[in-house]
Amino acid sequence: MKRSQKLFQHAQLVIPGGVNSPVRAFRAVGGTPLFLRRGKGAWVWDADGNRYIDYVGSWGPLIAGHAHPDVLKAVEEAASRGLSFGAPTESEVEIAALLCKLVPSMEQVRLVSSGTEATMSAIRLARGHTGRSKILKFEGCYHGHADSLLVKAGSGALTLGQPSSAGVPAEIAAQTIVVDYNDIGAVERAFQEDGKNIAAVIVEPVAGNMNLVTPRAGFLEAMRKLCTKHGTLLIFDEVMTGFRVALGGAQALFGISPDLTTLGKVIGGGMPMGAFGGCRAIMQCIAPLGPVYQAGTLSGNPIAVAAGLATLKLVQAAGFYERLTATALDLCERLTAAARQHRVAFSAQNVGGMFGMYFRATPPSTYAEVMQCDRATFSHFFHAMLADGVYFAPSAFEACFLSAAHGAPEVEKTIRAAKRFFATLNAPHST
């Protein structure tokens, strides 16, 4: 028996489902999850010594690649001074100032320990600032596992066939309005019916938790106008897209200023960290200045801040995003061409360093179209690629990620493996 199998058997005795986050269990694709031991650059090694090109990248944070020497050095130096203080440090002021400089809409920012904590806190702040109770979100968009956001959510909930969660009281769910992503007409109708009670609209500007779905032309712009008109705060959940699709995030890419922004993943450089921020007038509603309470023992943890600062320094290098985007585009175009050569219904697209793959002729633009993708074929594809040394996200509902460490050799190996799989789908069967 392989070591990963033995570890998974043991894990299931002491951890629910054997994993500490549901998608890791491989329930969507079947089989035994990989237990990883180490990573370097674009590659990871499992407990059995197998090596894979990694397109998961810890679900997005590792934009510089695994174990980047600059990040490791920063973490080691910070750790030598102490792991945590529960008191202000100079480095957290430094990263806060940098985030405010790089993200166009933020004048002040509060550091937290996860993306879930960031979105949960931003929603509370929006309610406290506006005095309203309802929020509007989009079906298939995932904003962490806070109660009011686990209504028709994407990501792991969608992967497990549970778009809502048990344990969320009906009274809380009733405060969440859900409409279709990319349907601005539905947003307009929601405001017509209940605009005076909507505290915030929260949206992934590029959806990445029902696979990658890009905003239709004018969708985000119209949402910005509606929120301004009705006195509702617009929250961009950039936990995934922040510093992943562009320097400054999706809001810089699309030229739209939300009222609040949530961040995570890349800003921690692989360590647990999140943040939320906005204009000074809104942010000063937070304790100790205002009545909206938010706190965290490990907020601004010096080790996470060190990793984040080192990573943010790397992404500011000239041409960083141009090279990252070019590699992702090359991968997507060549995957699509290989599938077309073998008459396989497949498409792929990227925004910056994140990309989506779909067993569907064209990329989806709505939740309903995502659900039309051939998930059974994706599962076969996932395992065939894994056997060939390529590790994609173990779900048809998750975006994938490249790092700056991915280059021509990794793309070439991936394309060769994909061609071998596509060739099997339409190969004649012997009788």
Annotated catalytic residue, options 134, 137, 152, 265: 265
Annotated catalytic residue, options 55, 142, 181, 391: 142
Nearest-angstrom CA–CA distance, 79 and 68: 16
Clarify whether 237 is annotated catalytic: yes
In a domain, 99, yes or no: yes
In a domain, 431, yes or no: no
Clarify whether 181 is annotated catalytic: no
Mean local confidence (pLDDT), 254-260 = 97
Which letter does DSSP use for residue 211 in this model? S
Nearest-angstrom CA–CA distance, 334 and 329: 8
Domain endpoint, select from 252, 283, 315: 315
- Give percent of the chain with pLDDT exceeding 90: 85
My answer on whether 178 and 300 are in the same domain is yes
Domain endpoint, select from 315, 349, 381: 315
Per the structure, the complete domain to which residue 132 belongs is given by 69-315
Provide the pLDDT for residue 158.
43
Q: What is the pTM of this model?
A: 0.94
Nearest-angstrom CA–CA distance, 357 and 123: 31
| 48, HSE (Cβ side, Cα atoms, 13 Å) | 14
In a domain, 155, yes or no: yes
Per-residue pLDDT tens for 80-119?
A: 999 999 999 999 999 999 999 999 899 999 999 999 999 9
CATH number of the domain to which 157 belongs: 3.40.640.10
The pLDDT confidence band at residue 159, using thresholds 50, 70 and 90, is: very low
pLDDT at 194 > cutoff 70: yes
Clarify whether 142 is annotated catalytic: yes
Q: Are 21 and 395 in contact (CB under 8 A)?
A: no
CATH number of the domain to which 407 belongs: 3.90.1150.10
| Residues with Cβ within 8 Å of residue 426, at least 6 apart in sequence | 342, 343, 344
Annotated catalytic residue, options 237, 321, 358, 391: 237
My answer on whether 293 and 243 are in the same domain is yes
My answer on whether 151 and 55 are in the same domain is no
My answer on whether 139 and 232 are in the same domain is yes
In a domain, 130, yes or no: yes
